Amino acid sequence: MTFDTADHLARRTLLTCLAISLSATGCSKPAATPPPGAETAGGTTATRISDLDQPVDALTAARCEHQISQYTCNECRYQVGVAKADPDLFDRKKGGTLELATVAPRPLASSRELTGEVRLNEERAVQLSPRAPGVVRAIHVDLGAQVQAGQILFEVESPEFRQAKADLVRTSAAVGLAEATAARERDLFEKRICPQKDLLEAEASLTQVRAERRAVAGRLLGHGLSQSEIDGLASAPSGSESGLLPVRAPFAGTVLERSLSLGGQALPGDKLLLLADTSRVWVITTIHEREVAAVLEAKAGGPVEAELTLSAYPGRTFRGRVDHVGGTLDEVTRTAKARVVVLNPGDLLRAGMFARVRLRVACEGGPLAVPSDAVLEDEGRSFVFVRLKGPYFIRRPVTVEHSEGGFVEVAGGLKAGDEVVSRGAFLLKSDVLRSKMGAGCAD
């Protein structure tokens, strides 16, 4: 039955190429020392030591029964975990299906999962209350309302505010009168009709009423009015009898909490409306004392990326950046607080949600990573094919620490700068493990 797919044909073609390479030279079979694990003349069987448990120097120094370096022998190299791949196999233009990758540190997410809590961005969240005591007379928004900066949210009838407006009208009128008086006295003094004392008294009175007006204007600014609104009240005193004090949105955001009703008393400091900009939220997590240095070092070199998952959204990952690490440690838990800023499209993240956080930290001398395709397994052990010399690649054991994003963090067996086979590495594995099918020089 024919069942070859395009992928199967490609793999079979590559295996054929490897087979041709492997059989390029023949060999005679003179008497030689039996390979490890073969039966000796005394009837005993030597214990085979896996190439994964031997140092590279020992493997490259071994000589095969053909009296050449075993790793270069087309029939014996599999015994020391070596495969041969000619340069053409890495050239896609020539139909090659193998790829190389360089071992290097990579900012993989921390293998340790941290816990965190979603909170509002405290720089863009505020509990609103009136600037003066009064009674709530109008409410213009409800829960969930999207508001713009400067929009009136509710109004309070405030006797204190009404008095401040009246004082503004009074002091504005007094300033006008004092200015006219001072001008008249200056004119009379220049004509030598009145003494200088009258002029000085008029100018002093003008300075005094101007100071009083500035003080009243300051009170109204403190109540939330703008300078243009204050100037409008002064020029149109007919509106000064109203004591309705508007409470405005200091920035664009969403009304998240409301605790006020018509006719209710409202005092400065009361938490009547919670307004927040939820386009960005904070996630507060904790970093153990031994991890603080690595995070700070990474942060000094650039943004520290974070990945977050929440039980409320299974299978979805949110991304953010660490923008602050606490300056003190908890004396009991020996942890520091870290703040992660996360974009919140669609307002999916809500304050109070719990999150699982992984920080992407890569420091000099940190863990190395290779593409996931490069890591293979044999009898429960992980290994990769590392370039030995020229077209020869030797398998080396590695310990997989963590994997994500198509890369695997590995420990031991590799160093930065090593070249490993990534795509197509399984074909080299098939070549090396021919011994499990009984292939070899002694056939």
Q: In this predicted model, what pLDDT tens digit does every residue of 377-422 receive, in sequence order? A: 888 889 999 999 889 999 899 888 777 668 888 877 788 889 999 9
- Residue type (1 letter), 261: S
Least confident of 17-26, 267-276, 316-325, 352-361: 17-26
Q: How far apart are the first and last CA of the chain?
A: 31
C-alpha count within 13 angstroms, C-beta hemisphere, residue 437: 8
- Per-residue pLDDT band at 158 (split at 50, 70, 90): very high
Residue 425's nearest CA partner among 374, 389, 381 is 374
Residues 344 and 443 in one domain: no
DSSP β-ladder status, 318-325 and 304-309 = antiparallel
Predicted pLDDT at 110: 57
- Residue type (1 letter), 166: A
Q: What is the CATH number of the domain that holds 352?
A: 2.40.30.170
- Per-residue pLDDT band at 111 (split at 50, 70, 90): low
Residues 406 and 436 in one domain: yes
Predicted pLDDT at 155: 95
Residues 3 and 94 in one domain: yes
How far, in Å, CA of 408 to CA of 421, rounded? 14
Mean pLDDT of 307-333: 92
Residues 316 and 343 in one domain: yes
Asked if 108 and 102 touch (Cβ cutoff 8 Å), the reply is: no
- Residue type (1 letter), 70: Q
pTM of the model: 0.56
Which residue has tokens 């290994």? 383
Number of domains the chain is built from: 3
How far, in Å, CA of 299 to CA of 323, rounded? 8
Look at residues 242, 264, 288 and tell me which one is the last residue of a structural domain.
Answer: 242
Predicted pLDDT at 120: 97
Containing H/E element for 193?
A: none
Q: Is 258 within a domain?
A: no
Q: Please indicate whether residue 31 or residue 54 has the higher confidence score (pLDDT).
A: 54
Buried b (16+ CB within 10 A) or exposed e, 156-194: bbbeebbebbbbbbbbbebbeebeebbeebeeebeeeeb
Residues 171 and 202 in one domain: yes
Q: Is 204 within a domain?
A: yes
Q: Is 430 within a domain?
A: yes
Residues 348 and 442 in one domain: no
Burial of residue 273 (CB within 10 Å: 0-12, 13-18, 19+) is buried
Q: What is the CATH number of the domain that holds 419?
A: 2.40.420.20
Burial of residue 256 (CB within 10 Å: 0-12, 13-18, 19+) is middle
Asked if 106 and 401 touch (Cβ cutoff 8 Å), the reply is: no
Residues 81 and 103 in one domain: yes
How far, in Å, CA of 333 to CA of 364, rounded? 28
Q: What confidence tens digit (pLDDT) does each residue in 54-76 have?
A: 888 888 888 888 888 888 888 88
- Identify the top-confidence range among 323-327, 402-406, 423-427: 323-327
- Per-residue pLDDT band at 27 (split at 50, 70, 90): very low
Residue 434's nearest CA partner among 66, 78, 152 is 78
Q: Dihedral of CA 104/108/110/113: which sign?
A: negative
What's the mean per-residue pLDDT of the chain? 83
Predicted pLDDT at 366: 58
Angle (CA) 197 203 209, round 5°: 135
Q: In what order do the strands lie in the sheet with 265-266?
A: 244-248, 152-157, 134-139, 265-266
Residues 232 and 295 in one domain: no
Bridge partner list, 255: 275
Q: Is 129 within a domain?
A: no
Residues 292 and 375 in one domain: no
| Tokens describing residue 307 | 């990945």
Residues 334 and 381 in one domain: no
Q: Is 187 within a domain?
A: yes
Residues 36 and 98 in one domain: yes
**pLDDT tops 90 at residue 3:** no
Look at residues 293, 328, 360 and tell me which one is the last residue of a structural domain.
Answer: 360
Predicted pLDDT at 383: 92
Give Cβ neighbours of residue 295 (< 8 Å, ≥ 6 apart).
Answer: 287, 304, 322, 325, 338, 359, 361
How far, in Å, CA of 236 to CA of 95, rounded? 86
Look at residues 302, 333, 360 and tell me which one is the last residue of a structural domain.
Answer: 360
Mean pLDDT of 189-212: 91
The domain containing residue 327 runs over which residues?
114-121+278-360
Q: Is 28 within a domain?
A: yes
Residue 52's nearest CA partner among 80, 72, 78, 71 is 80
Asked if 363 and 296 touch (Cβ cutoff 8 Å), the reply is: no
**pLDDT tops 70 at residue 20:** no
Q: Is 211 within a domain?
A: yes
**pLDDT tops 50 at residue 94:** yes
Mean pLDDT of 241-254: 90
Q: Please indicate whether residue 39 or residue 354 has the higher confidence score (pLDDT).
A: 354
Burial of residue 213 (CB within 10 Å: 0-12, 13-18, 19+) is buried
CA distances from 210 to 175, 233, 254, 346 (A): 6, 16, 41, 52
Q: Dihedral of CA 349/352/353/359: which sign?
A: positive
Asked if 437 and 409 touch (Cβ cutoff 8 Å), the reply is: no
Residues 351 and 414 in one domain: no
Q: What confidence tens digit (pLDDT) does each residue in 169-199 have?
A: 889 999 999 999 999 999 998 888 889 898 8
Predicted pLDDT at 18: 46
Asked if 147 and 283 touch (Cβ cutoff 8 Å), the reply is: no
Q: Is 251 within a domain?
A: no
Give Cβ neighbours of residue 345 (< 8 Å, ≥ 6 apart).
Answer: none
